[in-house]
Chains A and B, each alone.
Chain A
Amino acid sequence: MRYLKIWRTCLTITLVREMQFRLNFLMWGLAMLAEFAVLLLLHGSLFEMTDTIAGWDRWQWAFYLGLGQVMLTFFMVFVFPNLVGLPWQVNSGGLDFLLLRPVDSQFMVSLARANMGYLVNLPLGLLLMGYGLTGTGLPGLFPAISGLIWTLSGFMLLYAIFMAAVTVSIWSKRAGFASELFFGLWEYLRQPPEVFGRAAGFVFFWLIPVLQVVSAPARLTLGRQGITSALPALALSGIWFGAARLLWRWAVKSYTGSGS
């Protein structure tokens, strides 16, 4: 409850700050929208040439893309602006102040800021999901609920992977690669695992399980997968979250400060 209050205060401060530059606030969202529009143009063109790609028809594909976009939007709003700034905080000494506060440092590093401008992408993602469902039919209550649970678990997994990656900046001091890594992963979130070959599929489904983030909830909702076969995705989320937590605590212990 205390953390919810802190988070709400952080969000209020962020919103007030963002409103000082209203155009900029919207432009960040538009940047993501532009990228997504280009992707839609490409995928739309591809489905003009073929009815299915890797066993996914245009409706299922649209749902997958839409769900991926919704998850990415929330990630970009609440998590990305924080984690991407961590290397800078390490270099500038901003982390010193953060560690001194009587709040969990990982919580502050992960959720203290937000970029509401990215929310302009939410309607497009939802529309695309809706468009997909007009072709596949509405899911039943059970697939919808399980899809929602696995969506939350996928979100947690995405957070854990990115958190683990940026934590490295505590040692490397300069991890500009963090955002590149994220945008590199981004592509994997927007294509069903069936698209990837065996080797890449294995690496990105099990070792760095980015392909699990969207695929498990999308497959469950669309009825392409049962609960039992989706359980490993849930387990992986827990394992990665725990590992990211341990890595952060270890990193904080070895942090020496940058003098600020």
Chain B
Amino acid sequence: MRKYATVFMITLQDSLQYRFNFFTGWLVNLWTLVAPLALWAAVYRESVDLAYGFDTMAAYLLVVHLLYRVILANDLQFEVGRDIREGRLNQFLSRPLSYPVFCYVSLLARRCTALLALALPLAGLVAALHFLSAGITGLNLVGFCFAALLGAVLSFILYFLLGLTAFWMLECQALFVTLGTVLFFLAGGLFPLDIIAGGSFLTLLPFSWQLMFPVRVLLGVVSGQEVWLGFGVQVAWIIVSAGIATGVWRAGIKRYEAVGG
């Protein structure tokens, strides 16, 4: 375990080293909130009838924008792909270190940094939503934390799996970007999927359980039995995707030619 603790600490230090870059990244993340919020405000001004009220929709967008950097592992596939393509995977295969665990710990450290940066605005937001009676209760918060944790694990596996395609494709950066966009949408990163026609069908896929479900729990859009059912679905998808990822990892390692490194 100590070796993974060291990996965690080094990654943490690295992600905090370039503070200007980190701060501007965070700031940019905040200002990207304005455009979708403005669009939805304009839409609601036209008195449309949606499953979500404007308050809930605004809260959804705010929470998603603040949290997707913490929950989603949507940069992991690039790292895994690069390690495979450039032969850096050799270093892991020849040492008593599990590559998937290494990736998970590194990602965890980076996410801790993100959480640290976003803790204050997030706490402010949750408090504001509570006082604005957007349906946030202590129970919702607990349910959300649990769902977000499961969502983050599921996200790690899904994006790790995507990164493993590098075993079969030499140039996969563009594929990652393409699928990254689609996966972000399917995770409910742009808007809640159930507002569009056929959106309910999309929730049958594993992707929305990474991000959309935890946020819906926080905002009280789902409650009671549905929450427990949601936890069950998350766990089921974690097991299924972990099984697939293990199989793909083994097949990929057999195929791996260890060029470079």
| With A42-B191, A172-B21 as contacts: A35 and B181 at CB distance below 8 Å | yes
Task: Return the chain B residue nearest A175 by Cβ.
Answer: B21
Query: Cβ of A187 and Cβ of B42 under 8 Å apart?
Result: no
Task: Return the chain B residue nearest A51 by Cβ.
Answer: B46
| With A174-B18, A187-B35 as contacts: A27 and B178 at CB distance below 8 Å | yes
Task: Return the chain B residue nearest A20 by Cβ.
Answer: B171
Q: Does B116 contact A (CB under 8 A)?
A: no
Among A174-189, those with CB < 8 Å from B are 174-177, 180-181, 183-184, 187-188
Q: Does B185 contact A (CB under 8 A)?
A: yes
Q: What total of chain B residues lie within 8 Å of the partner, measured CB to CB?
A: 40
**Segment of A103-111, A128-136, A194-202, A231-239 in the binding face:** A194-202
Query: Cβ of B178 and Cβ of A30 under 8 Å apart?
Result: yes
Among A1-28, those with CB < 8 Å from B are 21, 23-24, 26-28
Q: Within the complex, what minimum Cβ distance (angstroms) separates B192 from chain A?
A: 11
Task: Return the chain A residue nearest B20 by Cβ.
Answer: A172
| With A54-B42, A181-B28, A187-B35 as contacts: A174 and B21 at CB distance below 8 Å | yes
Query: Cβ of B21 and Cβ of A187 under 8 Å apart?
Result: no
| With A41-B196, A42-B191, A200-B34 as contacts: A195 and B178 at CB distance below 8 Å | no
Q: What total of chain A residues lie within 8 Å of the partner, measured CB to CB?
A: 43
Query: Cβ of A196 and Cβ of B38 under 8 Å apart?
Result: yes
Task: Return the chain A residue nearest B169 by Cβ.
Answer: A23
| With A45-B197, A53-B46, A177-B21 as contacts: A195 and B174 at CB distance below 8 Å | no
Digit string of A34-58 for contact with B (CB within 8 Å is 1, else 0)?
Answer: 1100100110011011111110000
| With A54-B42, A184-B32, A197-B38 as contacts: A34 and B174 at CB distance below 8 Å | no
Query: Cβ of B38 and Cβ of A191 under 8 Å apart?
Result: yes
Q: Within the complex, what minimum Cβ distance (angstroms) separates A205 from chain B?
A: 12
Partner of A195, one of B38, B180, B196: B38
Q: Which residues of the other chain, A, contact B49 by a CB distance below 8 angstroms?
A: 49
Bound state CA distance, A35 and B185, in angstroms?
9
Query: Cβ of B196 and Cβ of A34 under 8 Å apart?
Result: no
Bound state CA distance, A28 and B175, in angstroms?
7
Query: Cβ of A34 and Cβ of B182 under 8 Å apart?
Result: yes
Bound state CA distance, A159 and B46, in angstroms?
34
Task: Return the chain A residue nearest B184 by Cβ.
Answer: A38
Query: Cβ of B190 and Cβ of A42 under 8 Å apart?
Result: yes
Q: Which residues of the other chain, A, contact B36 by a CB distance below 8 angstroms?
A: 187
| With A30-B178, A197-B41 as contacts: A188 and B28 at CB distance below 8 Å | no
Digit string of B13-28 for contact with A (CB within 8 Å is 1, else 0)?
Answer: 0000010110011001
Q: Does A117 contact B (CB under 8 A)?
A: yes
Q: Does B204 contact A (CB under 8 A)?
A: no
Q: Does B43 contact A (CB under 8 A)?
A: yes
Task: Return the chain B residue nearest A41 by Cβ.
Answer: B196
Partner of B24, one of A23, A27, A42, A177: A177
Instruction: Please list the residues of chain B having a beta carbon within 8 angstroms of any beta carbon in chain A.
Output: 18, 20-21, 24-25, 28-29, 31-32, 34-36, 38-39, 41-43, 45-50, 170-175, 177-178, 180-182, 185, 190-191, 195-197
5 further A-B pairs in the complex, CB-CB below 8 A; given A28-B174, A31-B178, A34-B181:
A24-B171, A49-B50, A184-B28, A191-B35, A196-B34
Instruction: Please list the residues of chain A having a beta carbon within 8 angstroms of any beta carbon in chain B.
Output: 21, 23-24, 26-28, 30-31, 34-35, 38, 41-42, 45-46, 48-54, 117, 172-177, 180-181, 183-184, 187-188, 190-191, 194-197, 200, 204
